[in-house]
């Protein structure tokens, strides 16, 4: 059995459809996971349907190992998680996917090998499989429809693994060939508009002119303008002034 250091082993227990194995491989590679273990796949292995569905993730299938039973699949693991949506009447820690992958990261960093069990499509893991796990992972799904597709469950755990091991900004802005406008550029834009609006008699009545100018400058300051934005706004005003001049 070949371990992939630095990541959990995704163990598909008695998967029934090759298509779901391929989709699971694709989900794994989406999030940098390549250690797949298959336990007694129903339709044998290798499976052409799995490769067709993997869509570029064939290397995960090439490295996949096959075990006769769950005990053999997790024999080299130090900590095992079982994914299930149903209570099983066992005394066992129950973790959210997020907490499970945080703990997996910590254990793997300390040198442990971690396995994650996923059950067959029809009924999920059996109690005998779950009894071999150190903790259960429970997804907060709709209680009226708790069944997750095998590949969906693998995708969810892969996503949480990626979140636990990769720094991700909660929000970012893609600047398409531009940069944020500097204070000087925003000031020039504000001055341009103030001058032209003043010429057009916009700041009226006179006693409100100063507060109107202040509010206008504050508007520009609140806007997250790029240099391209500022150039477009300058251009709009210039064109409007030209058009107004032609109407006279």
pLDDT tens, residue by residue, 113-123: 999 999 998 88
Task: Decide: 227 and 178 in contact? Cβ < 8 Å.
Answer: yes
User: Using CA atoms, how far apart are residues 22 and 226, in angstroms rounded to an integer?
Assistant: 44
Domain limits for position 190: 183-246
Do the domain assignments include residue 2? Answer: no
Do the domain assignments include residue 174? Answer: no
The pLDDT score that the predictor gives to residue 3 is 56
194 plus 98 within the same structural domain: no
Last residue of a domain, one of 116, 137, 165: 165
User: Using CA atoms, how far apart are residues 212 and 210, in angstroms rounded to an integer?
Assistant: 5
User: Using CA atoms, how far apart are residues 135 and 76, in angstroms rounded to an integer?
Assistant: 17
> How many distinct structural domains can be found in the chain?
2
55 plus 125 within the same structural domain: yes
Task: Decide: 92 and 136 in contact? Cβ < 8 Å.
Answer: yes
242 plus 187 within the same structural domain: yes
141 plus 86 within the same structural domain: yes
Do the domain assignments include residue 4? Answer: no
161 plus 58 within the same structural domain: yes
65 plus 118 within the same structural domain: yes
Give the CATH number for residue 40: 3.40.1280.10
123: closest CA among 157, 85, 155? Answer: 85
The pLDDT score that the predictor gives to residue 1 is 43
41 plus 153 within the same structural domain: yes
Which two three-digit tokens encode residue 32?
Answer: 């940098």
Along the 248 residues of the chain, how does pLDDT read in single tens digits?
455 669 999 999 999 999 999 999 999 999 999 999 999 999 999 999 999 999 899 999 999 999 999 999 999 999 999 998 766 678 899 999 999 999 999 999 999 999 999 999 888 899 999 999 999 999 888 888 888 899 999 999 999 999 999 988 888 888 888 999 999 999 999 999 999 999 999 999 999 999 999 999 999 999 999 999 999 999 999 999 999 888 87
């Amino acid at each position: 059995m070949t371990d992939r250091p630095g990541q959990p082993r995704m163990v598909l227990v008695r998967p029934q459809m090759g298509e779901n194995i391929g989709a699971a491989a694709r989900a794994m590679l989406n999030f940098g996971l390549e250690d797949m273990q298959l336990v007694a796949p129903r339709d044998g292995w290798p499976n052409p349907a799995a490769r067709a569905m993997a869509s570029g993730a064939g290397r995960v299938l090439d490295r996949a190992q096959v075990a006769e039973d769950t005990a053999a699949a997790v024999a080299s693991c130090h900590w095992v998680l079982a994914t299930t949506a149903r209570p099983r009447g066992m005394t066992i820690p129950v973790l959210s996917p997020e907490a499970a992958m945080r703990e997996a990261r910590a254990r793997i960093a300390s040198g442990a090998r971690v396995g994650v069990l996923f059950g067959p499509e029809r009924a999920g893991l059996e109690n005998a499989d779950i009894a071999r796990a150190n903790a259960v992972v429970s997804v907060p799904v709709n209680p009226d429809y708790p069944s997750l597709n095998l590949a969906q469950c693998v995708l969810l755990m892969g996503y949480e693994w990626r979140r636990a091991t990769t720094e991700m900004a909660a929000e970012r802005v893609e600047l398409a060939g531009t940069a944020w406008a500097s204070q000087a550029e925003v000031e020039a834009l504000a001055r341009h508009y103030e001058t032209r609006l003043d010429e057009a008699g916009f700041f009226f009545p006179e006693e409100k002119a100063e507060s109107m100018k202040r509010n206008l400058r504050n508007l520009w300051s609140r806007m997250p303008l790029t240099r391209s934005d500022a150039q477009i706004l300058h251009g709009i005003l210039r064109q409007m002034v030209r058009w107004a001049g032609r109407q006279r």
